[in-house]
Structure 1
Amino acid sequence: MFSRLSTRWKQWRRQWLDYPLRQGKMWAGRYRIEQFIGMGSYGQAYRCIDMQTGAVVLMKRAKPSKHAIGREMLKRESEMMRQLTHPQIPRWLGNVKHRRESSLIMAFMDGYNLEEWIMERAQTYTQADALRIVGQLISPLKHLHEAGYVHRDVRIPNVLASGERIGLIDFGLACRIGEEAPDDRMKAAEEREGEPSGFADSWGAVKQQMREPYPMSDLYGLGHLFLFLMYAGYVSVEGQEERSWEEELELEPAVKDFIRGLLEKRWQTAVECERELGAVLDAMQIS
């Protein structure tokens, strides 16, 4: 009985600590909060107005319930994003101190993430659509890898679409290539968050592959992202036994081989992956 009450109290306290900041609130005397965008494992995102410049910006605040872990993760993310300059990656603008908290300020990228398109708008994708999205994501991943980092979280919630433009967001789990895994406190905190969305298979089946600090892990994520996009429009036959994606999805042989290559980590760099995808698109006459 006491154990259940204690658990409920801790859950309630975390929810209270992480309750979103209200619309209209001023942060650090400069940023007016316009909209709460969402919450991840370690941070909260807000669309704000910079009252000094009038610009729309994105403010990422560490989740208060994560305490020192959240602040450390936000600091790591900020230091990395400061080194990135790519049109498909949010531009770093600065860090802002507010009382005992700090926040990361980025240029605001308009659009909807692919999870919203699929889950809320019932968006479906053709084979060509999904390949184009994968192709557009290779460019920011190349830039990230060349800067010495790996994203480690290439999933539909972290891909932003605005018309034909595709952006890669949320670098909270990114790390240096070859860097040792975050300490046990961070890993334990991630475990408590449960299974994230955006995978064709269960999280347990892909987690180790996804979190390895090497470029191949991001390419592996692209493979799962492609499958998730294709499954958005898949209709199963009632009573039919579950089959592999290769049997369930109607894909061109060259596309199947390319996706298999991503999932098998056949290519070590985004440059190699881009070259292979280019050959597939040329063969299918997809621009």
Structure 2
Amino acid sequence: MPRAAEFLVALPYRRFCGRSVQGYRLGRLAGIGGSGAVFDAVGPGGVPAALKLLRPLRPSYDLAAVWREVAPLSRVDHPALPAWRGIVRAGRAYFIVLERMPGDSLATWLFERRHVFGPVEVAGIGSQLADALVALHEAGAAHGDLRPANILYDGERVSLIDFGLSRQEEDGAEVFAAACAADIAGFADLVLYLRYSSFDSSRRGGSWRDELPLAPAQRRFLEEALAGADMLGSALSAREARTRFLDAFSSRCFT
């Protein structure tokens, strides 16, 4: 997006920077997504926080959108997921108060910094993320939008953020199963992004199956994880995906 367009998109949100909202001092605008804007903030006692404002230009408060965002976080206590600390209000604007997670998005690492992820990093990032998905899915929640922009990384720790498109068991069995399968496919997509960071362009030759030097177990895992989004009956569970990923992508298994 051109800088002028980015400025215009951010303009309605920037008026909140520097304001205090029920004991939270809003700092910089950290990001804007499909479901709202996130601000770095400092809370009571100087505790860092992240405050997410859900679309301030809406004419009315969208309770369903807020619940969709916080429901998964209210179900699960996991180090890769931000803790939900409540909701605060400034006039007609409502903010979800979240634990501030460290690092920058994997989209920044991949597309701006052009960081090359080696085998140890791929295995470490994948194992943390897979563990978070097991905790989420087995608690009856699915993220629904797993992609590099929604995963933070500080060089060691991985955090999954932005639950604006999440789904719960209460949404119905088919809806929840589809969201879980999409999470697993998104996880496989992420692994491919990480592997492509070290891609040798001289090997360009079609699909990822042709271009990436993958061990047989790695190829099988990726094919099964990606196929599950189209064939729900064959979708891997999060626990199965974690086991197969760890078996296939431990650093000793890279070719």
Which structure 2 residue ranges, 5 or more long, are not aligned?
A: 229-233
**1:53 is the counterpart of 2:45:** yes
Give a deviation string over 1:12-65, Cα, whole Å, max 9, x none.
xx848733235422123x111121100000210011011x32101000001223
SS across alignment from 1:19: helix
Q: Secondary structure at the match of 2:14?
A: coil
Deviation at 1:97, TM superposition (A): 1.8
CA RMSD of aligned residues (A): 3.0
Higher relative contact order (CA 8 A, sep 6+): 2
CA contact (8 A) 2:116 2:198 kept: yes
**1:78 and 2:70 correspond:** yes
Normalised by the length of structure 1, the TM-score is 0.75
Q: Which of 77, 81, 85 is matched with 1:89 structurally?
A: 81
- Counterparts of 1:282 and 1:35 in 2: how far apart (Å)? 38
The answer (yes or no) to whether the contact 2:104–2:153 under 8 Å persists in 1 is yes
Cα distance in 1, alignment partners of residues 9 and 185 from structure 2: 33
CA 1:69/1:234 → structure 2, altered by over 3 Å: closer, same or farther?
Answer: farther
Give the conservation status (yes or no) of the 8 Å contact 1:215–1:268.
Answer: no
| 1:43 aligns with one of 32, 36, 46 | 36
Secondary structure at the counterpart of residue 86 of structure 2: strand
Indicate the residue corresponding to 1:123 in structure 2.
Answer: 115
Structure 1 partner of 2:13: 19
Aligned with 1:53: secondary structure? helix
1:270 aligns with 2:233: no
Instruction: State how far apart, in whole Å, the 1-side matches of 2:223 and 2:10 are.
Output: 44
Equivalence for 1:227: 192
Please identify runs of 4+ aligned residues in structure 1 that moved more than 6 A: none
1:1-20 aligned at under 5 Å gives the runs 15=9, 18-20=12-14
Distance change in 2, residues 1:100/1:138 (3 Å): same
Q: Output the TM-score relative to the length of structure 2.
A: 0.83
User: Which one-letter code corresponds to 2:105 in the other structure?
Assistant: N
Structure number with bigger Rg: 1
Structure 2 CA distance, aligned partners of 1:143 and 1:214? 15
Which residue identity is paired with 1:35? R
Contact 1:112 1:162 in 2 (8 A): yes
Q: Residue 117 and residue 84 in structure 1: after superposition, are their counterparts in 2 closer, same or farther (change >3 A)?
A: same
Partner Cα separation in structure 1 for residue 27 and residue 14 of structure 2: 12
- Compared with structure 1, are the counterparts of its residues 168 and 282 closer, same or farther at alpha carbon in structure 2 (3 Å cutoff)? closer
Amino acid at match of 1:280: A
